Amino acid sequence: MHFTSTRSPRNVTSAQAIARGLADDGGLFIPQEFPKISDELVKRMIDMDYKARAREVLALYLTDFSADEIARSVEAAYTGTFDQENPAPLVELHPGLNILELWHGPTCAFKDMALQLLPHLLTISARKTAPGRTMVILTATSGDTGKAALDGFADVPGTKIIVFYPQNGVSAMQKLQMVTQKGDNVAVCAIEGNFDDAQNGVKHIFADSEMKQYLNARDMEFSSANSINFGRLAPQIVYYVSAYCDLIRQGKLRRGERFNVAVPTGNFGNILAAVYAREMGIPIGKLICASNRNNILTDFIRTGVYDRNRPFYTTTSPSMDILISSNLERMLALLYGNDTAAVAGLMEQLAKTGRYAISADVLAKLQSQFYGGFCDDAGTAATIGETFRKYHYLCDPHTAVALNVYEQYRRETGDDTPCVLASTASPFKFASAVLPAVRPGALPADEFEMVTALADATKLPVPKPLAGLKDLPVLHNGCVTKEKMKNFIRDFLG
Ligand SMILES: *Cc1c(COP(=O)(O)O)cnc(C)c1O
């Protein structure tokens, strides 16, 4: 099992791909070919628990890891870190619609599924590829990645982690989670700009030769905890495979029978993991790609034109407020049959003009696999309210966007194939958007009063990691311009 880049032929091991994060040509690492999950393996996995399934799936990609290294990593990631035994339970909302709850981890968002595991995969990868060097994790966040990465990497020996977030682009709760992060190896800083500014800043620093020398001189090396790192994707593939096994175990699906997947999408990492599961042989039918008012992906799926020259909106689902979906590059590689020159060409156009168009035949292929749709904040709130009243199920705004778009898809197509819908955050993480949707009346001024009011109104418990935040001291209050990100990093690394 080897990996190549989306932009030029490369041949690296999984440990090299994970340790480096980004390929040296600016592209993303992708498997040269997809390992297959045999029917016999599915049969065995049906009776396994989540951790055992994770070991099986990861072993197919991480062929340069020992079975023991994988087992130890999985054990550490999913033992005692989630609020229940199964980290990714499947809950039936109504017959045919199953919610895959991915937010039972320590930061209450789906990023934990990957970021509890990544530090272990990364430190093992570093030992294999760059023994003795400190890995410096550099991350841009639209809110949830930052905290999940901080929680995963805090005080992990041989690593340091630096997180940049857009000053006005994350929720109050997300911000508080980050600025209260403990750990001797962590740094957190706000950026004057939006998520794309933060992400672009980080991408430039990765490619900056001066910074490379600076780190080299200190026996350090950059790596990434963003979903551009294959070590983030692999753990996400696991939960789609696991959901398939659970559907069979619960008698909702026969082996080999198709199901659709609906995902609230930002950087395209979560939905891409479903695509990868399908490439491995899991019978996934339509992929329903849900966006908020920043509906660049809806337009792309409907027209074949990706155009970021448009206004950027701040919405009640901030983790999807993104105009450049990094992982789409991996999808393009798949659509273009790993034609690296074609993908490199599109990415160059995107960098130069903010726009590219795919050919008619590639668009047809894309549309045969995907449905793209979006909903605005009013639609999001309406869906949260309706879902709670009808099913007594409380969902967060990101999940609500996916539910709304799933309903649009059902109405338009009449397709009633069983569906797995990814639920990506605890509703308590976004109380200021969720509370008014389920309880009319004045909104408390303080975020924690909103959380308490939401718990009262719904009779649901506040997740422990959020309840405890109120009493923690703020440890990080820096804010810099995009141009000053390098200075911040140098100040922290010394
Ligand atoms: C990150 C995130 C998303 C978007 O996931 P991508 O993998 O970036 O597409 C959706 N919802 C929540 C709550 C998130 O944290």
Q: Alpha-carbon distance 377 to 356, whole Å?
A: 28
Distance of CA 453 from the midpoint of ligand 1 (Å): 26
Closest CA to 68 of 77, 60, 59: 59
Q: Locate the ligand 1 atom nearest the alpha carbon of residue 227 and give its number.
A: 7
What are the pLDDT tens digits along the chain (494 aa)? Answer: 999 999 999 999 999 999 988 898 989 999 999 999 999 999 999 999 999 999 999 999 999 999 999 999 999 999 999 999 999 999 999 999 999 999 999 999 999 999 999 999 999 999 999 899 999 999 998 778 999 999 999 999 999 999 999 998 888 888 999 999 999 999 999 999 988 889 889 989 988 999 999 999 999 999 888 888 999 999 999 999 999 999 999 999 999 999 999 999 999 999 999 999 999 999 999 999 999 999 999 999 999 999 999 999 999 999 998 898 999 999 999 999 999 999 999 999 999 999 999 999 999 999 999 999 999 999 999 999 999 999 999 999 999 999 999 999 999 999 999 999 999 999 999 999 999 999 988 999 888 999 999 999 999 999 999 998 988 999 999 999 999 999 999 999 99
Distance 485 CA to ligand 1 centre (A): 24
139-150 burial code (b ≥16 CB/10 A, e <16): bbbbbbbbbbbb
- Between CA 3 and CA 50 the distance in angstroms is 26
For 176, residues 6+ apart whose C-beta sits below 8 A from its C-beta are 447, 469, 472
3-state class of 7 per DSSP? coil
Atom of ligand 1 nearest to the CA of 103: 13
- Calculate how far, in angstroms, residue 320's C-alpha sits from the geometric centre of ligand 1: 6
Strands 90-94 and 97-101: antiparallel
* Contact in structure between 22 and 137 (CB atoms under 8 Å): no
Give the ligand 1 atom nearest the CA of 265. 9
Full-model pTM: 0.95
Q: Which helix (H) or strand (E) holds 98?
A: strand 97-101
130 Cα to the center of ligand 1, angstroms: 31
* Nearest CA residue ID for atom 2, ligand 1: 319
DSSP state string for 16-34? HHHHHSB-TTS-BEEESS-
Q: Which atom of ligand 1 is nearest to the CA of 425?
A: 13
Helix-then-strand count for the chain, H and E: 22, 15
**How is the chain split into domains, by residue range?**
90-107+231-429
Kindly report the protein residue whose alpha carbon is nearest to atom 1 of ligand 1.
319
CA of 117 to the centre of ligand 1 (A): 17
Closest CA to 380 of 434, 424, 439, 313: 434
The pLDDT assigned to 428 comes to 96
Report how far ligand 1's centroid is from the alpha carbon of 247 (Å). Answer: 23
Report the nearest atom of ligand 1 relative to the CA of 270. Answer: 7
Q: Whose CA is nearest to atom 4 of ligand 1?
A: 266
For 356, the token pair is 């590219």
Q: Ligand 1 pocket test: which of 228, 320, 401, 428 has the largest number of ligand atoms within 8 Å of its C-beta?
A: 320
Q: How far is the CA of 422 from the centre of ligand 1 (A)?
A: 10
What does DSSP say about strands 134-140 and 220-223: parallel, antiparallel, or unpaired?
Answer: parallel
d(CA 388, CA 391): 6
Ligand 1 atom closest to the Cα of residue 142 is 1
- Which atom of ligand 1 approaches the CA of 110 most closely? 15
Q: What 3-state class would DSSP assign to 248?
A: helix
Pocket of ligand 1 (CB under 6 A): 109-111, 144, 227, 264-270, 319-320, 398, 424-425
> What is the distance in A from the centroid of ligand 1 to the CA of 109?
8
Hey, what CATH topology would domain 90-107+231-429 get? Rossmann fold (3.40.50)
CA 214 – ligand 1 centroid, Å: 33
Beta strand 305-307 pairing with 355-357: antiparallel
CB atoms within 10 A of CB 463: 20
Q: Which atom of ligand 1 is nearest to the CA of 268?
A: 9
Ligand 1: distance of its center to the CA of 264 in Å?
7
Query: Residue 447 is encoded by which pair of tokens?
Result: 């975020």
